[in-house]
Amino acid sequence: MVTADTAPTHEYQAIVFVRNCGATTTFGTHVSIVERGARLDNDDVGNILAIDATCCLDPRSRGLPRNSVGGPLATARWHGPDTLAVTFPSGVRVFRQALVQRGVRIVYSTIE
């Protein structure tokens, strides 16, 4: 699952993607800001956001909004040429949450 939103200046794209790191881990959802047209490698991780559900057996993970492959739902939308709005569910485990990337300010909000 990959979604992308292009910046108004057409210089960058915000890409939301999912990684599966093996049978004993949950799907992780990542967001990256990359130059428009850049491709992600299989081992890339999100340069602005990396999250996962704590564990399938953890009660806090039940009822989380999920994407089509089972990872936590995240969205990324441009709010002007230098501001990206990112949403993700509260209750997830956050591994990376950058506030600025490539001169772009990232504003986060959580969904219940």
**What's the pLDDT at 57?**
47
Provide the whole-model pTM: 0.85
b/e map 80-109, b = 16+ CB within 10 Å: eeeebbbebbebbbeeeebeebeebebebe
By percentage, how much of the chain surpasses pLDDT 90? 54
- pLDDT tens for residues 65-102? 777 777 899 999 999 999 999 999 988 889 999 999 99
Phi, psi for 59 (deg, rounded to 5): -55, -30
Phi, psi for 98 (deg, rounded to 5): -80, 150
Residue type present at position 92: V
Tell me the CA end-to-end span of the chain in Å, nearest whole number: 22
- Name the average pLDDT for the chain: 85
